[in-house]
Structure 1
Amino acid sequence: MITDCHIHSFAKTEAPQTGAYVPPAGDIRDYMDEAAPLGVRRAVVVQASVDGTDNSRLVEVLGTDGHFALRGVAMIDADADLQALHDAGIRATRIQDRARLGDSALDQLPGLAKRVAEVGWHIELNTEPRSFERIAAMLPDLPETTHLVLDHIGHVDPAEPDALFRLLDTGRIWTKLSPTRVSADVGHYGDLAGLIERIGTSYPDRIIWGSDWPHVMTSAPLPEIPPMLELCRDALSREAFDRCMWENPGRLYGF
C-alpha cells in the first residue's frame, strides 16, 4: 500500500483570487480515481499557493468521503486556529523559500516551529541548496521535537548532492522523493536512480514520496505516477520502499 505525501486539489468551477498560475481543473476525486488503481490508499493534500492562507478549501477537501485517508499541510497566518486545523486533519505548515518565486521566508522558521510544536506539527520547506547551510545553522534554535521536510528532494542538482547529504546528516531533516521538479528526464528519471538509492540507504527512516499531482506550472506532457513508483521500487530496497510509502508517512502525518 502507498501513501502519496504531496498532492493539490482545486475546485473545478471557482476562479482563484490570488496566485501566479491558473490551477488545472483537478479535484480530490479526480486524484482518487487515478491513484487508487495504483495501490495508493492515503494522501497528503498541500495547500495551494493560489489559496494563500485561506485554508477553508483544504479543510473541505480533507472531509471528502471515500476510501482514502487524508491529511493536510496548511499555510497559516498569525490568526490561524491551529487546534481547529489539527482537528480537521492538518499536520504541518509550509514555508516557501525559492529564489525564482521571490520568496525567502526562513526568518520565520524559529518562531513558526515553536508555534506549531504546540499541536505536534512538522514544517515542510519548499527550499533549495542555497539555503541548506542556513537551515542547518537554525536547527539548534528549534524545538527538539521539530521535524523539517524538504519538498522535491530540496530541488538539488542530482549531479551535485553533497550539500543535501550534509543537511540530512544532521538527523533533523526528512525529504520527499518527489522527482518531477529535479529530474532532467521526467517520465524516466534515470538521472535520479543513484541519488534515490543513496538517500534510501542512508536515511530510510526519513524518506517519504509525493507525486506533486496535478503538476501545476508544468509543461505538457504532464508526469504520470507509475514511472515515479517504478523509480522508487528500483532504487530502494524492499524494506526502504515500504518505509517510504507507508510506515514513515504513518508516523509523520499521524495516519
Structure 2
Amino acid sequence: MANICDCHLHSFAKAETAQSGAYVPPQRDIRDYMDDAAPLGIARAVVVQASVDGTDNSRLVEVLRTEGPVALRGVGMIDPRTANLSALNDAGLRAIRIQDRARLGDSGLDQLPVLADCAASVGWHLEMNTEPRSFDRIARQLSTLPEGLLLVLDHIGHVDPEVPASMEALFRLLDSGRVWVKLSPTRVSRAIGRYCDLTALIARIGADYPDQCVWGSDWPHVMMADPLPEIPPMLDLCREALSDDVFGRCMWSNPERLYGF
C-alpha cells in the first residue's frame, strides 16, 4: 500500500517561455513527477510555488487540477494586497511560502506578520525558505503570531551538519512546538546520494520531534549540478535514521494533518 507523501516539489512548464529569476527552470512538469514518484509508493505530494513564478499562482492552481496516481496540495507565494485566499484554498493551497535566503537576495522576514495574518485567516500555515542567520529573529517573533499558526522550515532550515551551533538553534525553534521542519536533504548534505552526514541529525529530529517533521524530495532539483539527486536514497536515509513509527508519521500522518489531505 502506498503510504508516502512528498511535501516539497516544483512543477514547471513544458513549453519554452521567457523566465526571470535566479535560474532557468527545467522543462519537467507534474506528469513527469508522477511518473517518477508513483512507482516508489508516493501517493500524495505538495507542489511548492517556485521563486521564478513570483506571486502569480495561476499555473500552480492549474497543476493542482491534474488527475493521476498522486493526490496534490499546494504552497503559494502571495501578494497580500491582491491574493484571493478563499479561491486559492478551494484550489488546494494550504500554506504561504516566504523566501529568506541571503544567496537569493531575499529577506522575507519583514513580511512575516502580515503573511501570518493572511495564512491564519484561512487556516493555513507558513513555509519558510530560511537559514540559521534568521533563527533568533524568528524565535522572537513567534509569540506575536496568530495563535495556533505553524511555521515549517524548508530544507532542514539550511543548517550546516558540521556546525553544531546551527543545529542547536534549529532545535530551540522546534522546542517551541510551533515550528516544523522538512527533512529534505539535498540542500544541506555534502554527500549527495549517500547523505551519511545527516543520519544523526535526522535521527535526533525524529526522536525528539516526531510530530513536527515531514519529508520532501525537492524534485526536480533546480540549481544543482549533475548528477541530480534521486528519490530512493532519500527515503533510504529516512528509513535508516527514523524508527518505523516515526517514519510512518513523517511520511503520512504528519503531512495529512498539516495539508488536510
Band the TM-score falls in, shorter-chain normalisation: over 0.9
**How far apart are residue 179 of structure 1 and its match?**
0.1
Structure 1 residues 62 and 128: alpha-carbon distance in aligned structure 2, compared to 1, 3 A threshold: same
Q: What CA distance in whole angstroms lies between the structure 2 residues aligned with 1:167 and 1:47?
A: 24
| Match for residue 222 of structure 1 among 206, 217, 228 | 228
Residue of structure 1 equivalent to 2:213: 207
Shift of 1:14: 3.5
Could you give the per-residue CA deviations for residues 167-225 of structure 1, whole angstroms, max 9, x where no partner exists? 11111100000000000000000000000000000000010000000000000000000
1:7-48 deviations in whole A, cap 9, x for unaligned? 000011041432121101110010000011100000000001
1:47, 1:164 → 2: CA distance? 24
Gaps of 5+ in 1: none
Alpha-carbon distance between aligned partners in 1 of 2:113 and 2:54, rounded to the nearest angstrom: 21
Number of matched pairs: 255
In the alignment, which of 71, 77, 80 is matched to residue 75 of structure 1? 77
Q: How many Å apart are 1:68 and its aligned residue?
A: 1.3
RMSD: 0.7
3-state secondary structure, aligned to 2:211: helix
Question: Quick one: distance in 2 between partners of 1:194 and 1:94?
Answer: 28
Tell me whether 1:247 sits opposite 2:244 in the alignment.
no
**Residue identity opposite 1:185 in structure 2:** A
Q: Which amino acid aligns with 2:11?
A: S
Rounded Cα–Cα distance in structure 1 between residues aligned with 2:67 and 2:138 = 38
Residue of structure 1 in register with 2:140 after alignment: 137
Q: Single out whichever of 104-113 and 77-86 deviates more from structure 2.
A: 104-113
* Residue 157 of structure 2, aligned match among 122, 132, 154: 154
Q: Distance in 2 between matches of 1:222 and 1:249?
A: 25
**Which residue of structure 2 lines up, in the alignment, with residue 34 of structure 1?**
36
Could you tell me whether the CA contact under 8 Å between 1:149 and 1:174 is conserved in 2? yes
TM-score, length basis structure 1: 0.99
Q: Contact 2:22–2:104 at 8 Å: present in 1 too?
A: no
Whichever residue aligns with residue 15 of structure 2, its letter is T
Distance between the aligned counterparts of 1:245 and 1:168, measured in 2?
Answer: 18
Match of 1:198 among 179, 182, 204: 204
Same amino acid, percent of matched pairs: 72
Is the aligned partner of 1:94 residue 2:97?
Answer: yes
- Judge conservation of contact 1:16–1:22 (CA < 8 Å) in 2: no
Matched, 1:112 2:146: no
Taking the aligned partners of 2:18 and 2:189, their CA distance within structure 1 comes to 29
Distance 1:90 1:158 in 2: 32
Alignment partners' CA distance in 2, 1:93 and 1:7: 15
User: Could you tell me which residue of structure 1 aligns to residue 66 of structure 2?
Assistant: 64
| Whole-angstrom CA distance in 1 between matches of 2:237 and 2:19 | 37
Residues of 2 paired with 1:146 and 1:4: CA distance? Answer: 22
TM-score by length of 2: 0.96
Residues 231-255 of structure 1: per-residue CA shift (max 9 Å, x gap): 0000000000000000000000000
1:6 deviation in Å? 0.3
